[in-house]
Structure 1
């Protein structure tokens, strides 16, 4: 009988302890949950701020790159056309009507070419227009700049040109990625041939750049955590949940393939 009483007392004590501890555990759980929820919200807010900051930086870089291209075009193309126009007009001999007429016609032709070039450049002065017509048109413009240099044998396949899908923030980052890759090729690769392919497949945008330059050791570059702007490229691709495949070796050129969920 005493054992029975002891067991009942022990059971009551344990039950009471459990009932007393349950609210404590519940309060601790709620506090922990709220803390995690708050941390998650702050982390999400910080990620959004970092993304917006990156978008702003990217927009500035894209505009700077565009302005550099415009400055180069004004100097190397429009400037030369206008200088040639001036030389032609200065050489006009009014005493020789036939030759004078021919030179004036040539001058008018040069002026018309200059006006056409200036109109094309004017379209690029509005930064937002770079991607408002879609990433396909923005890529086509970059290829056009590269082609005008006349330094490389270009092979391009831009299947995005007719795409109606747009994602302004992603488009801006994708354009900047292409600009960075092209700049790396110009500065470091010593290439003569460049292939640029862009297309949509399986709800993803694919951008591929292949060149026949001097190549490099990717492991060595990654170990140094610097050089060739690769860190910036990796960071931006990660920000938009993309993937990058880089293949290169000394003397064997470089291939870069980017895959980004799109739109």
Structure 2
């Protein structure tokens, strides 16, 4: 059965198609006009995120440099304190004893006089040796440059000289070929802070220290038999014994702190640091 299209139908059909084409053209035009706007918005958003990322990296760099400066200052202060203490308690006593010995020399008794002069010379030589050791400390960062193993051993030697603690030491970092000067300085300061906390707060008699490098991780272990403390409580209060400073510095070099302690049960500290 054939249908004959009337002129009116043809006109309506053509108007409908024209309308569709007009709508398509309008949509295409709108998309064409909006695309540059969306592109500009995307570019602005990308540039804003990029700028924020650059600012964040710059802030992190400044924070790291600020922390490194603070660490250097603290290492120098600790060095000066050690030198002052040694000059007063050790070199000062040696020189005072030398003075007393020389003042007691009786030249009429040549045999005793010779013995006292010999003893005085021995005391002077000991003083010179101690002063030479102290002179090395004046170059704190140079100690680190000789290797983290040597820097750590220097701290252990001074701790040993106090005669206050029974020490058990395993330092396997002397032959470490890889170095990281910034990390070394922070590691040295961490050890100084830990030892200082033990001396001030722990009332310990035995300290066990273990340092080694394995699979690109530097391990520092310090264990003592002191009074201990409630770590979780102090951590929650965000105060006490320099633990915040220790945690912050470990976090800054992407390290990990494991601390186990309980009242009357001593403290065990394990630090793991990616190295170099």
Residue 217 (str. 1) matches residue 226 (str. 2)? no
Match of 2:49 in 1: 36
Which structure 2 segments of 5+ residues have no match?
1-12
Q: Secondary structure at the match of 2:140?
A: coil
Per-residue Cα deviation, 1:238-263 (whole angstroms, up to 9, x for no partner) = 11111111111111100111111111
1:11 to 24, 29, 34: 24
Could you say which structure has the larger radius of gyration? 2
CA distance in 2, matches of 1:65, 1:26: 57
CA distance in 2, matches of 1:198, 1:238: 19
* CA apart distance, 1:129: 1.4
Match of 1:100 in 2: 113
CA distance in 2, matches of 1:62, 1:50: 18
* CA apart distance, 1:3: 4.0
Match of 2:9 in 1: none
1:112 to 125, 131, 134: 125
Let me know the Cα RMSD of the aligned residues: 1.2
TM-score by length of 2: 0.92
CA distance in 2, matches of 1:126, 1:136: 16
Per-residue Cα deviation, 1:184-237 (whole angstroms, up to 9, x for no partner) = 111111100111111111101111111110001111101111111011111111
Q: Indicate the larger mover: 143-152 or 88-97.
A: 88-97
TM-score by length of 1: 0.97
Q: Indicate the larger mover: 145-154 or 94-103.
A: 94-103
The number of residue pairs the alignment matches comes to: 263
CA distance in 2, matches of 1:50, 1:181: 23
CA distance in 1, matches of 2:122, 2:133: 17
Residue 248 (str. 1) matches residue 231 (str. 2)? no
Match of 1:203 in 2: 216
> 1:47-196 residue pairs with structure 2 within 5 A?
47-196=60-209
Check the 8 A contact 1:134/1:165 in 2, yes or no: no
